[in-house]
Amino acid sequence: MTMYNPAHPGEILKEDMLEALDLSVTAAAEKLGVSRRTLSSIANCHSAITADMALKLEGLFVKPSAEHWLRLQMQYDLWQARQRLEAA
């Protein structure tokens, strides 16, 4: 099922996880073992969630699963690719 203009998974991470848990990017980055810059780039929709990051997020938050994070990223990436293809 194709989603219409899906949210970047970083937006979901920022709003549904970090903000909902009152967790700063700095604190979450420390817990994840990544730099603040890396997590901030994802949360601000400038970078993708990789398989490694998905596993780290799963380890920190338990839910959603790593597979869920990767599905969100895939849906976002496919939507963006389709838009570029249609615009060409």
Please report the pLDDT score of residue 27 as a whole number.
Answer: 97
Question: How far apart are alpha carbons 49 and 6 in whole angstroms?
Answer: 14
- From the list 7, 84, 82, 5, the residue with the least C-alpha distance to 44 is 7
- Tokens representing 2 are 């194709």
The answer to whether 85 touches 60, Cβ cutoff 8 Å, is no
Please report the pLDDT score of residue 50 as a whole number.
Answer: 98
Domain boundaries, given as residue ranges, for the chain: 9-87
Residue 75: partners with Cβ closer than 8 Å, 6 or more residues away: 3, 6
User: 9-87, which class in CATH?
Assistant: mainly alpha
Q: What is the mean pLDDT of each run of 10 residues along the chain (88 residues)?
A: 84 96 97 98 98 97 95 97 93
Please report the pLDDT score of residue 43 as a whole number.
Answer: 98
- Say what the pTM is: 0.90
What is the signed CA dihedral for 11, 50, 34, 61, rounded to 10 degrees?
60
Sign of CA dihedral 85, 7, 68, 44: positive
Please report the pLDDT score of residue 4 as a whole number.
Answer: 83
Please report the pLDDT score of residue 2 as a whole number.
Answer: 60
